[in-house]
Structure 1
């Protein structure tokens, strides 16, 4: 059993008895900086295993899992980790982990994740076979274990696993461990003031005592009218137990303290420790006196006084008077005042305040950690370790500013705006943050409030009205294109509007996609088609890149779909929404839903060429509006290749292609877990596809056009450019207009990349 509570006096005694001398290093290790400052240390190392083999055992109840821990330890695993029903239920709500929970057998309440180190994969598979022969009823008890000791014989009075999921390949093992390692943020993703707080998360008892210990803990929580999650290191008996409490309630802190006291009694009863891993610190020091008794406690204090007579080193910890109820983020006196009434729908996030408080600081957004994906957080990755450019930095700044925790000399409106300004709205945190912090949505809400108070800057107003600008540019083409190519036009745009001179401005088409559609007869009639699609011509496709829309129409019609292009809808409201002009984006959404809702009711599917617009209809509209009509629009909207893949429309396509493509997905689709559709369609069309492990391209709508953001946009873009350079593919494709512009503006490539649907259209056999 692990024990890191108190000082290691027992190890000094053992040294003295065995060697006649003591190793003071063993005393300083684990002393939490209270006895001295370590400037150099020699540590023991363990060899990295040749192979690992993993199995996830499933159980009907967490107590059944606890019963099985001790027998599993007889098989000498490297790790045994428990995940209970509370943990799994919350993980199922996180897009990053839902697919792992989905593969668990129906009725699974809890699991034990068991890992073996092995010399070879055959060795690893045999170790798991031996374990399953012993612990899984469905495995024939007659199977002779490799050790031949009869461990496979099952008795009727033991508890066994219900099922098992084996993992031998690295990807499957990573998925299992990724979910396990995200335990802390997963549990704190619960959207309520009641949270699974970490005040008794480090207790340890001998593994054989776990069943009775957990049963008594459950009974104790029943008395407090609450429950807990039990997860983590079942093998060494260190369970992370997290009771559900509202620390903002009048009696929240008192209840927490009483539970600590009662649990310490149970720990002592079962021969355990109040800290098996994380140390005493300010949270657990106060229970060491009860755990060790007054005599040992007195020795701890004398030892501390001998090493640190002035009590300068981490005062209060291990042997002091640290109060676990001090310096808490939340208590009954906590106050939060946003200073405005939110406009967006925050019902699913426990309100705007709930989302603002959701970040607990796990640092998943500050690097490529095991608990996160590749999207989060582009600005942090580009700036290389500037905390304020991370999701965590922004979220905590916002919370502290609204709860009064920032000193007056630190906080200002301008500082707040500056911090949020570099959030590019990629939505990566919405998916990849294990707790579900949605900084893009928070920024949009706060930007709207700022506009309400201070008005809207001219440039923001222009970018929010792309539809109007592009319509004008198209109607004036080719004069408008000539004007933007004049020498000095870029400098003029930068001086007057703050648009980066380095950016190439759009080239407008004289004939829009909508105009082209009015002059044609659909290749597939409504009567002939099994499906009918209303293609929404977004401003970028309609006015500047109609060839992409034409490729989409050609591909859909080749698949037997009746296609019409929406006449009354182009702008989804995305540009205004991204700029925080919520009154405008809401009005656009209302008008669009009125039109599109009727078409959905008539049996039409809604298809968008532009990914960010598709996600606007699918996701953001639900933050602006409520009702059956907007839900119907959200449920029946698809990006074009998502549509083809969802209904396997490409089964009807005759395609031939053999080129290799590098695919850069759109960050909004990635955040919505919809990015895989395009890859599947391209591969079935015959292309070899190298899916780039990339983040947001850095253009982020208007962000990359803004002069003050150009260098940041390029720094983020460099991550994409390098990935393209490293790809074996000769051509890159990207569904997002911004992404294609970012790639097209760099001198590292010739011209703008194609939209994936153009490549599918190119592969069609006439």
Structure 2
């Protein structure tokens, strides 16, 4: 029996062990569900240290959590949930001159951007959950966003991080010169051991790592531990990109290596005010995949895709139906091409070039341009995609299983051809949307996870897609991470040797498994601990009104038939 009263006495924050909190935190935005032991709300770094001490003493794992918007089960597990969003949510310092900010991990992205907007600055990577996702979670998942074509990922803007290591000691991770790294490697501390393990691993396996990691041209990649990113530094002189900085590895590590208590992040100037969006209506999905390459030649700031499924669902949503003002007919997909220039004249000039180029290739049948405040309405429709998909009538839903694969943009048409052939062979439908400009499409096959046959397909789709991603030198995850969902297939993607290096990385940083165990490496089968049990759809539901369409229930006796019984 674990004595949580002891933890309560030693902390300033809150410790909750009641069933209500356990149930609330048993899920995130993924398809997984596991009951945690407790939920803790730390107030500061000293509370985090108490949690680590408690976890080591009791042989349990801590699961760092913020808003819980993760889609791969990153913050679901049987350990203790440590939620930083309640108290550790302060902006600590803003440096206007040097364009950086220092924050606690529970700061919400939109709130930070509102604070620095008056300075002409913002945090470049943005997500569709920007009004609730926290910066600590963005680091954990290496989040990107619609404008990653310009601003890259969170990893690109993570300068420094204050963390608590698994032995309870504090470390400040930042860029270091060669001599500083060598000095760290001699220290008789866990931090020193981490530097020593990291450097020696890279020195001994350099060629193997370069060979088996995704195509370097792919900017969106977040599978496994990003050990290859440490090579791109002045320490190793491989495509030099700056000082040796363990933050490169921390980003995308999903809270499995250390507990973040402070972040120093790069800020960028607000984009040019003159913008326009060209909404290219495509007759087929294949047309959209090829049209994306045409649009990229003209240096847009973003290219996003919405397929026919999302557009159709938006008709039944009161708010989003009003945002369909630019849609003509029933396109198979719409490419949202955003431009940003210093003047309207330059915006229109580039827009003319794109439209002419598209027509020359035979792509698109309608090219409406949207300006001013109406642009936000277009993006609102695009960002509503996930919510609209969740409301698809019936038990079968577009599920998050392969929604985050990414390949280099020029490889995307060939990859999607192979993917389409796989879907046809398996008899599945799929929803396509999101970040086509960077080679990442959120692909959501329509499956009923309450049905035994579809649960088998859930796994089969994941494994076959992993093989396709490997064939095209892509990444299983572009931004959503591995978590419980994709960890099982990391050995397939990288090979056993490189996967073994990732396991060594976890053991080096966290030898006792204090942080978020069984994520990224050593994960359980991806089709275990799902939210739904087989046969849930057969539960009789006698209601006065017919909610079968809204809630996806199927009545066992009369199959509802619109009767409301």
Rounded to whole Å, the distance in 2 between the matches of 1:335 and 1:69 is 40
**TM-score normalised to structure 2 length:** 0.56
Shift in Å, 1:84: 1.1
Rounded to whole Å, the distance in 2 between the matches of 1:41 and 1:337 is 48
Aligned to 1:74: 297
Using the TM superposition, name which of 42-51 and 341-350 deviates more: 341-350
1:358-757 to structure 2, matched below 5 A, reads: none
- Secondary structure (helix, strand or coil) at the match of 1:279 reads coil
Distance 1:107 1:251, change over 3 A: closer
Is 1:106–2:329 an aligned residue pair? yes
Check the 8 A contact 2:282/2:365 in 1, yes or no. Answer: yes
Aligned to 2:266: 44
Check the 8 A contact 1:191/1:354 in 2, yes or no. Answer: no
Unaligned runs of 5+ in 2: 1-217, 556-561
- Secondary structure (helix, strand or coil) at the match of 1:332 reads coil
CA displacement 1:462-504 (0-9 Å, x = unmatched):
xxxxxxxxxxxxxxxxxxxxxxxxxxxxxxxxxxxxxxxxxxx
CA displacement 1:294-344 (0-9 Å, x = unmatched):
111010011110100011211111222233222211131537757x62112
Shift in Å, 1:102: 6.0
Of 415, 424, 429, the match for 1:222:
424
Rounded to whole Å, the distance in 2 between the matches of 1:40 and 1:187 is 35
Check the 8 A contact 1:201/1:242 in 2, yes or no. Answer: yes
- Secondary structure (helix, strand or coil) at the match of 2:392 reads coil
Shift in Å, 1:159: 4.2
**TM-score normalised to structure 1 length:** 0.42
Distance 1:176 1:24, change over 3 A: same
Check the 8 A contact 1:83/1:230 in 2, yes or no. Answer: yes
Shift in Å, 1:195: 0.7
- Secondary structure (helix, strand or coil) at the match of 1:345 reads coil
| Higher relative strand content | 2
CA displacement 1:388-409 (0-9 Å, x = unmatched):
xxxxxxxxxxxxxxxxxxxxxx
Is 1:5–2:229 an aligned residue pair? no
Check the 8 A contact 2:389/2:398 in 1, yes or no. Answer: yes
Distance 1:228 1:13, change over 3 A: same
Check the 8 A contact 2:313/2:392 in 1, yes or no. Answer: yes
Structure with larger Rg: 1
Of 186, 194, 216, the match for 2:388:
186
- Secondary structure (helix, strand or coil) at the match of 1:204 reads coil
Rounded to whole Å, the distance in 1 between the matches of 2:563 and 2:453 is 37
Of 241, 244, 257, the match for 1:22:
244
The higher relative CO (CA closer than 8 Å, separation ≥ 6) is in 2
Aligned to 2:487: 285
Check the 8 A contact 2:324/2:381 in 1, yes or no. Answer: no
Shift in Å, 1:169: 1.8
Of 365, 368, 371, the match for 1:168:
371
Unaligned runs of 5+ in 1: 138-153, 356-622, 626-766
Rounded to whole Å, the distance in 2 between the matches of 1:63 and 1:224 is 20
Is 1:133–2:356 an aligned residue pair? yes
Check the 8 A contact 1:4/1:30 in 2, yes or no. Answer: yes
Shift in Å, 1:206: 1.1
Rounded to whole Å, the distance in 1 between the matches of 2:311 and 2:386 is 12
Distance 1:29 1:102, change over 3 A: closer
Check the 8 A contact 2:276/2:340 in 1, yes or no. Answer: yes
Rounded to whole Å, the distance in 2 between the matches of 1:102 and 1:76 is 26
Aligned to 2:543: 342
Check the 8 A contact 1:49/1:119 in 2, yes or no. Answer: no
CA displacement 1:139-177 (0-9 Å, x = unmatched):
xxxxxxxxxxxxxxx3xxx3422211111121x212211
Rounded to whole Å, the distance in 2 between the matches of 1:31 and 1:168 is 39
Aligned to 1:399: none
Moved over 4 A (4+): 335-338
| Higher relative helix content | 1
Shift in Å, 1:22: 2.1
Aligned to 1:326: 528
Rounded to whole Å, the distance in 2 between the matches of 1:160 and 1:276 is 27
Distance 1:108 1:302, change over 3 A: same
Check the 8 A contact 1:252/1:332 in 2, yes or no. Answer: no
Aligned to 1:93: 316
Rounded to whole Å, the distance in 1 between the matches of 2:324 and 2:423 is 26
Distance 1:349 1:21, change over 3 A: closer
Check the 8 A contact 1:253/1:331 in 2, yes or no. Answer: no
Rounded to whole Å, the distance in 2 between the matches of 1:70 and 1:335 is 43
Report how many residues are paired: 336
Check the 8 A contact 2:294/2:354 in 1, yes or no. Answer: no
- Secondary structure (helix, strand or coil) at the match of 2:340 reads strand
Rounded to whole Å, the distance in 2 between the matches of 1:61 and 1:335 is 34
- RMSD of aligned residue pairs (Cα, Å): 2.4
